[in-house]
Structure 1
Amino acid sequence: MKNEIKVKVRNDYAKKMKDGFPLIEKEALINADILSEEGQTLHLIDERGRFIGRGYYGEQNKGYGWVVTRQQDESMDQSFFEKKIGTALQKRSGFFKDESTTAFRIFNGEGDGIGGLTIDYYEAFYVLSWYSEGIYAFKNQILKALQNLVEYKGIYEKKRFNTGGKYIDDDDFVTGERGEFPMLVKENGVQFSVHLNEGPMTGVFLDQRDVRKAIRDRYAEGKTVLNTFSYTGAFSVFAALGGAQKTTSVDLANRSYPKTVEQFSINGIDYEAHDIKVMDVFEYFKYAVKKQLTFDLVVLDPPSFARSKKHRFSAAKDYKDLLKQAIAITEKNGVIIASTNYSGYGMGKFKGFVEKAFKETGHRYKIEEQYTLPSDFVTTKEYKAGDYLKVVFIKKL
């Protein structure tokens, strides 16, 4: 057993853990002071000494680690990781058979039984993301388990646990053959250019797959589209392929322009027929109002936290005001696609922001449809924060 220590859990947290809650919260532990090294295996007991589960110590967000098994005879050894990853692969077997989509998630943290770890598939390459030094301590076992279960060209990793707030930007390559980047993958028949070796992000957020398909198939035809916080322009590409009259992509990052041009070009779209603007989204809203620009379809997909020279945005506090700015430049009967990956509130509260924004601007609305995470992003009902994605298609009446 790897550095296993007994940790006592307060009674008011123990029942929740026994019932399936996977996060080990700092406040739950009576003797947290004995934790000394991330990666320690934890034998969790309640105040009466009864077994709760086994997990590991790894500081991540508000947690001190994750419960990974409630079977007393199950250890975090090689066979354990093979069993967990093997089960996850079976759940995604249909994705491997779908030639129109060659990028998806094969392991989604606590949803697949091991919090702090995700594994994504990109056209025969795999990317492991480590969210704490604790789970990274099991790298060799996890890597060997994956290698025993899949055929692969190469494996990359993303270390996302630097407490300084900066990505650990060393060589992301792990084993196999190095990829030639950009490499092309497909999503519902649309091509994406991805880079597995350029920091924490690869060029596409896989959790928005269903939303992009809906835009292309049902919302874009003949419409003018504004894509804010556009990153590499994925929503714009799907809108253009869905017959949009014109798309406008806005993002503050300088890299957004060449990345968006690249995504348009590999799909045979004339990027010069569309607008790609490198500027603060909040300044663009002011510009659009001043120039009396309006759009049939507006995509709002901001990061949970964003900062520019003039503005700070927090999804927890500022989403309602962001919606109000979008409402002002959305045509009558136009649609706003409001999205957030902030895990601190649920769909109900998010819809509350929508209601308040429309009420304060004096407009009526109708929710056309809503989305959460796609099926490869498996979640567990006991940990609601894991089902972080909330997307609402709102018609301005």
Structure 2
Amino acid sequence: MSIREIRLPADLKPALLSGHPWIYRDHIPPNTYLKNGSWVRVSAGNVAAYGIWDAHGPIAVRLFSRHTIPDIAWVEARVREAWDVRAPLRARGDTNAYRWLYGESDGLPGIVVDLYDRHAILRTYTDSVRKLVPWVVAALRRVAPVDGIAERQEDEFGEPRWHVHWGQRPPDELVVLENGWHMYANLLHGQKTGLFLDQRENRRELMRWCGGKRVLNCFAYNGGFSLAAALGGARFVESVDVAANALEDARRTFALNGLDPDAHAFTRADVFDLLEQYAREGRTFDVVVLDPPSFARSKNQRHKAIRAYTRLNALALNLIPPGGLLVSSSCTAQVSHADFLNMLATAAAKAGRRLRILHDAGQPLDHPVPPHFPEGRYLKFVIAHVADVA
């Protein structure tokens, strides 16, 4: 096979040697033009790697192997390796929805596969890797018993539809098992591929902090954190989201797990507006959970995102009396863990409060982070004790 060679700056040698999977376009020699999806060999000094050329985005090359152009056997080895890494999660027996393949972290940049019971839902983040999809599908079939492999796509009107790569078409909605409780996963119309699977262990952690508490869950989506709080013994949980259908799913999820949804509240509102309103009214909660959507999609939005997080957390702290808990999370990759902690300190100062971090976590084992790819760690999750300024 004829393959294009690209010489990179020598100072990229350590990154190539460590296995970092991205080469940004500003490191590519000028006037380099290739067909999207072409295999290329890049080198810096005496270190080389093989990757796929992306003709459009800021990442010009996604690297796959130091040694060879991948073939179907190489792809299957990555899929099997990822399956084996998740064996401890399957061994628990209390969860059947998780991320099987996490792109760069599992050696297949730009490709994600989530497993919901026996349905594998595939997603790609760039067209340049589309040519690998048939190999990934074949590997999924060989590695584990699945009923179907599908991908959510959009029709000509922008509406979601299923493209079935193999086997059964997945149901639009499915009840899955997470941490021993049941959850509705809206596979066709929901966020991500149906659930925010990366917060699974954080939901389980929240359970043990909520016994007898009044809990406010902001950006509740389909009520995962709300369910965890209620199953953990919270005496009252209010779930807030701007989407009515998400709140209806949350109510249904409570009922599915033997909880009376009418004993709790499901409030459709803008979270920022509601927090300000509750502060004016003097309402308080023992625990406030903040799990907002990403506030930054690119590096140039980072400062704006930090300002939004600061305002949000300061507003929440106004509702938490001394001795209460702030549970704060961020899925914004452009905001580092250090940035997030600094933001919490600033928000506490604005609200006239002191915070002590009792629990600090990131992603679960099905979202692993290689040390050579820190960009793979995006999730921050903190449980902090709230006190007045001494």
**Which residue does 1:54 correspond to in 2?**
50
- Count of matched residue pairs: 380
Identify which range, 56-65 or 245-254, moves more after superposition.
56-65
- Matched residue of 1:287: which SS? helix
Q: Give me the CA root mean square deviation.
A: 2.3
Identify which range, 92-101 or 363-372, moves more after superposition.
92-101
In structure 2, relative to structure 1, the CA distance for the partners of 1:267 and 1:286 (3 Å cut) is: same
Q: Does 2:96 match 1:91?
A: no
Superposition map of 1:255-270 within 5 A: 255-270=245-260
In structure 2, relative to structure 1, the CA distance for the partners of 1:159 and 1:200 (3 Å cut) is: farther
- Matched residue of 1:211: which SS? helix
**Which residue does 1:40 correspond to in 2?**
38
User: Which one of 182, 201, 204 corresponds to residue 210 of structure 1?
Assistant: 201
Instruction: Output the amino acid matched with 1:64.
Output: A
- Matched residue of 1:7: which SS? strand
In structure 2, relative to structure 1, the CA distance for the partners of 1:135 and 1:211 (3 Å cut) is: same
State the distance in 2 between where 1:199 and 1:338 align: 23
State the distance in 2 between where 1:20 and 1:88 align: 17
**Which residue does 1:24 correspond to in 2?**
23
**Which residue does 1:63 correspond to in 2?**
59
Task: Say if 1:8 and 1:31, in contact at 8 Å, map to a contact too.
Answer: no
Task: Say if 2:34 and 2:55, in contact at 8 Å, map to a contact too.
Answer: no
User: Which one of 136, 150, 156 corresponds to residue 150 of structure 2?
Assistant: 156
- Matched residue of 1:33: which SS? coil
**Which residue does 1:272 correspond to in 2?**
262
- Matched residue of 2:120: which SS? strand
- Matched residue of 1:315: which SS? helix
Give the percent of matched residue pairs that are identical in Structure 1 and Structure 2: 28
Per-residue deviation, 1:242: 0.7
- Matched residue of 1:209: which SS? helix
In structure 2, relative to structure 1, the CA distance for the partners of 1:59 and 1:149 (3 Å cut) is: farther
Task: Say if 2:117 and 2:176, in contact at 8 Å, map to a contact too.
Answer: yes
Task: Say if 2:119 and 2:148, in contact at 8 Å, map to a contact too.
Answer: yes
Task: Say if 1:65 and 1:134, in contact at 8 Å, map to a contact too.
Answer: no
State the distance in 2 between where 1:336 and 1:167 align: 38
State the distance in 2 between where 1:190 and 1:94 align: 18
State the distance in 2 between where 1:89 and 1:77 align: 19
- Matched residue of 1:388: which SS? coil
Question: TM-score scaled by structure 2?
Answer: 0.91
Per-residue deviation, 1:256: 1.7
User: Which one of 112, 124, 131 corresponds to residue 118 of structure 1?
Assistant: 112
Task: Say if 2:217 and 2:290, in contact at 8 Å, map to a contact too.
Answer: yes
In structure 2, relative to structure 1, the CA distance for the partners of 1:199 and 1:358 (3 Å cut) is: closer
Q: Does 2:250 match 1:250?
A: no
Per-residue deviation, 1:159: 5.5
Q: Which runs of 5+ in 1 are unaligned?
A: 307-312
Per-residue deviation, 1:143: 1.0
Instruction: Output the amino acid matched with 1:83.
Output: A
**Which residue does 2:8 correspond to in 1?**
9
- Matched residue of 2:237: which SS? strand
Per-residue deviation, 1:361: 2.2
Identify which range, 11-20 or 342-351, moves more after superposition.
11-20
Per-residue deviation, 1:115: 1.4
State the distance in 1 between where 2:232 and 2:3 align: 55
Task: Say if 2:370 and 2:376, in contact at 8 Å, map to a contact too.
Answer: yes
Superposed CA deviations along residues 264-284 of structure 1, whole A, max 9, x for unmatched, are 121111111111111111111
Per-residue deviation, 1:391: 0.8
- Matched residue of 1:105: which SS? strand
Instruction: Output the amino acid matched with 1:204.
Output: L
State the distance in 2 between where 1:349 and 1:69 align: 32
State the distance in 2 between where 1:245 and 1:58 align: 52
- Matched residue of 1:303: which SS? coil
State the distance in 2 between where 1:123 and 1:303 align: 26
Instruction: Output the amino acid matched with 1:365.
Output: L
**Which residue does 2:222 correspond to in 1?**
232
Question: TM-score scaled by structure 1?
Answer: 0.90
Superposed CA deviations along residues 137-162 of structure 1, whole A, max 9, x for unmatched, are 211111112112121111122459x9
- Matched residue of 2:322: which SS? strand
User: Which one of 368, 377, 380 corresponds to residue 370 of structure 2?
Assistant: 380
User: Which one of 111, 117, 137 corresponds to residue 143 of structure 1?
Assistant: 137
In structure 2, relative to structure 1, the CA distance for the partners of 1:367 and 1:51 (3 Å cut) is: closer
- Matched residue of 2:82: which SS? helix
Q: Does 2:177 match 1:186?
A: yes
- Matched residue of 2:32: which SS? helix
**Which residue does 1:128 correspond to in 2?**
122
Q: Does 2:99 match 1:108?
A: no
User: Which one of 167, 174, 189 corresponds to residue 165 of structure 2?
Assistant: 174
Q: Does 2:346 match 1:356?
A: yes
Task: Say if 2:325 and 2:384, in contact at 8 Å, map to a contact too.
Answer: yes
Task: Say if 1:316 and 1:342, in contact at 8 Å, map to a contact too.
Answer: no
State the distance in 2 between where 1:362 and 1:200 align: 35
State the distance in 2 between where 1:159 and 1:317 align: 34
In structure 2, relative to structure 1, the CA distance for the partners of 1:393 and 1:83 (3 Å cut) is: same
Instruction: Output the amino acid matched with 1:132.
Output: T
Task: Say if 1:315 and 1:340, in contact at 8 Å, map to a contact too.
Answer: no
